[in-house]
Amino acid sequence: MRKRLFEIIEIAADGDRASRFYDGFMILVIILSIIPIAMKDPGTVWNALDKLCVAIFIVDYALRLFTADFKLEDRRRAFSFLRYPLTPMAVIDLLSILPSFIPVNRSLRLLRLFRALRVFRIFRVLRYSKSLRTVSVVMKKSKDSLIAVYSLAAVYIVISALVILNAEPRSFDSFFEALYWATTSLATVGYGDIYPVTAVGKAISMVSSMMGIAIVALPSSIITAGYVEEIKKRESGDEQKDKD
């Protein structure tokens, strides 16, 4: 019984109508659960919808925890039930559920921010989309390269912030403002709310923007190359299955 339950709540296999129905139902619930979040002052109906969706999410989470040993394929069944809540998708599931239990309090910004974590419900779609799962696989495989690139970007942002803060102390009130400027400059966004006014500061800004073009392009090329490689692997695997 637990094995069949696991097959239903997981991604549908070919010909498994019950699993396909469950996948479609959960995608619909995820979409509906986003509507109350998109409203500034949801009424009674939308609040009721939100509670209904949360109740369904809780049941889904309980079922996945109940069949965690099949998911993790761990011989130590008891250990699987302890491991599952720490897996990435289980964390996303919890983040999509728990904020709904925080009472609405407009005077406490921290509580409002925590309730905003309900947007993690969108990431639940990752479980049901093959394209998004492919991107997730690519991100995992390219993890080391991406960490190296973003580490380089972080170091460059700190250096740029230190340089501009010392070059133009009047334009930046704190190191955080310099970091903010360095980040927007590196990303070639440049909101214009904080900017250098001296020739030296403008020269630093130009160099930072030029470096940003190169650094920002690196993650895109890494992810694109990994995505193309993963697609080719899947296509070759499908062709092999057809031959067999």
Q: Please write the tens of the pLDDT for every residue from 3-54.
A: 888 888 887 666 778 888 888 898 898 888 888 877 777 778 888 888 898 8
Ordered domains of the chain (ranges, CATH): 2-128 (1.20.120.350), 143-243 (1.10.287.70)
Asked whether the whole model's pTM tops 0.85, one would answer no
Structure tokens at 25: 């139902």
List CB contacts of 98: < 8 A, sequence separation 6 or more: 117
Model confidence at 62, pLDDT cuts 50, 70, 90, reads very high
pLDDT over 70 percentage in the chain: 85
pLDDT for the residue 172:
85
Helix count (H) and strand count (E) of the chain?
A: 11, 0
Residue 49: exposure state from Cβ atoms within 10 A (0-12, 13-18, ≥19): middle
Contact 29, 91 (CB under 8 A): no
pLDDT tens digits for range 116-137: 667 777 777 777 766 677 777 7
Quick one: 126 exposed, middle or buried, by C-beta within 10 A (0-12, 13-18, 19+)? middle
- Residues contacting residue 94 through CB under 8 Å, at least 6 positions apart: 61, 85
Q: Which residue has the tokens 């296509």?
A: 235
pLDDT score of 59 = 92
pLDDT mean over 153-163: 88
Average pLDDT value for the chain: 79
Distance CA 189, CA 44 (A): 40
Longest CA–CA span in the chain (Å) reads: 73
**Range in 144-148, 187-191, 218-222 with the lowest mean pLDDT:** 187-191
What is the DSSP code string of 27-85? HHHHHHHHHHHT-SS--HHHHHHHHHHHHHHHHHHHHHHHTHHHHHT-S-HHHHHHHGG
Confidence of residue 56 (pLDDT cuts 50, 70, 90): very high
Residue 128 is given by DSSP the state T
